[in-house]
Structure 1
Amino acid sequence: MSSRRKFIKKAALGSVALSAFSACGVQASNATTAPKEAPIKTAKKPLIISTWNHGLAANQATWEALNAGKSGLTAIEKGLNISEADPKVRSVGYGGLPDREGKVTLDACIMDQNSDCGSVSFLQGIKHPISVAKKVLEETPHVMLSGQGALNFALSQGFKEENLLTPESEKAWKNWLEKSKYQPVINIENHDTISMLVIDKDGNLTGGCTTSGAAWKMHGRVGDSPIIGSGLFLDNEVGAAAATGLGEAVIRTAGSAMVVELMRQGLSPNEACKTIVERIYNKHKNHKDMPYLQVGFIAINKQGEYGGYSLRGGFNFAVCDADNGNRMEKPDFKMTWKDK
């Protein structure tokens, strides 16, 4: 381990005054960066990192909630609610592309600094699954509720059942039915899960993940997003990680938990993400999923370092901190879509 790594490991980054929160909104940018190398990046706490372009709006809402004194759990809920309610985000919540039967089914999970977590899978008819997952954490002795049971619980908690299939998504589904070919294309709004990680001004970690899953999936399919250890994992002594992409590949490798374990062993967030992507590649290079396989990870550690890495190009993530505002970053990747 280099002397710089040792220095960063030992450094204690100071708390940020609440007045600094306004920086994220003022400096918002759509610019992307693609460094040839992947140096360790450190941001002043608090720090928010989330997947894909729709992470910008989600980051902003999360930042404002933190600024208002809300907990990390509530702040993440508010941020992810933005993507869930946006019908233009065709891979999350309301307006999400349906399964092959035309049903919009949702998965979500949330986890806090105490390793308490809540999750819902195969949930239908509820616009904000991340909010239901938060209620599972807060109001039940369980971690995960699924299907009709998750819906019954949501209704008992005051959530309103509604139709989530928008005319645009219904039209896309009917067009798909003409050939009925299941072949995910991850980077063009087929399955762009939004995952979010937060480290607050006190250095405590929170994470959340919400999705409508892979378009045209079999009815009943559940991906990695609601599974603690696959789509999301954190250890408040170490760091946090989250995934996006084809959930089956992430589940097979317990991806996010492995990223956190590698950070526990001293790897930077970027190095840990890259190592697990390499592992996924090695396990899937001869797999039937490989022609359309995409997986990306984001990660942060207790020192405020952050990073990401993906199997193929096209993945990006949104970062928000007091020093540099709210912006998109483009991580390194292993291969292009033309590579096999």
Structure 2
Amino acid sequence: MDPGNYTGISEFLLLGLSEELELQPIIFGLFLFMYLITVFGNLLIILTVNSDSHLHTPMYFFLSNLSFSDICFTSTTIPKMLWNIQTQSKVITYEGCLSQMYFFTLFVGLDNFLLTVMAYDHFVAICHPLNYTIIMNSWLCGLLVLVSWFLSVLHSTLQTSMVLRLSFCRVLKIPHFFCELKQMIQLACSDTFLNNMAMYFAVMLLAVVPFAGIIYSYCKIISSIYGISSAQGKYKAFSTCASHLSVVFLFYCTSLGVYLSSAANHGSHSSVVASVMYTVAMPMLNTFIYSLRNKDIKEALVRFSGREGLKGPIVLGMKNCAESPRT
């Protein structure tokens, strides 16, 4: 180990998107606006889905869980970034950095699994409509979400535990606006071979494999849509999947693009800016995609906004999960 190594680390420095002082108010305002839109937009979707009996279906049960995950996803990084800009500080504690990395990794994985589960739901609804209520029952819906949580927690715990074994150099500047896993590994002065192998293996196993499952599901879905004789039936089936396909495209094109190109872009500013797309922009855009492109959500929002108040507690759950999905 080099003499410059240091194991009793107490804090890191987050360099953020830019170190130019005149840009800080602009960055603060932009990210605060995007964060508020993300939180309130996804919270509105959750409240609407849980308060409207027409949306108590598997499709919208998974959507409400995805919205909850997106709120947590952005809340792990943006508040700390805004606080650092406001206080003109770049410091984050070692414990805070590990916690941020843990929860960020967890909710990225959860988003990934939920998108895969939603693709499977569309596949069953379109390719096996007669057996949909039997296959997508309440027990299976709950199990799919629980398994998604379990795998995400397991993966995040494993990656964070492997970072704990690393020793870091004295110069602990992270060229990012949050503590990302690959950035933490790059800062280490000890051997990171196992960490890098675990990270890239996880990307292949937990991202590429689910993405392949999504592609397979939509190949079957497209084949089934072509078999529908009426134009109205084709449009109805396609509109069911359009919002989900848009979100999948955004998620994988941005997140996988950043990670798979990291070998050529270590520490580059372009990689940090690209990360904004899937850490901030994507969760915000999800609210617009699912609200503006979904007839049921728009109708439910109108009914929801017309109420004086909601009766009973609002919980993120599922009721009558076996009902057929509406488009």
TM-score (norm 1): 0.27
Q: Which structure is higher in strand share?
A: 1
The structure, 1 or 2, with the larger RCO (C-alpha pairs under 8 Å, 6+ apart) is: 2
Q: Which structure is higher in helix share?
A: 2
Which has the greater radius of gyration?
2
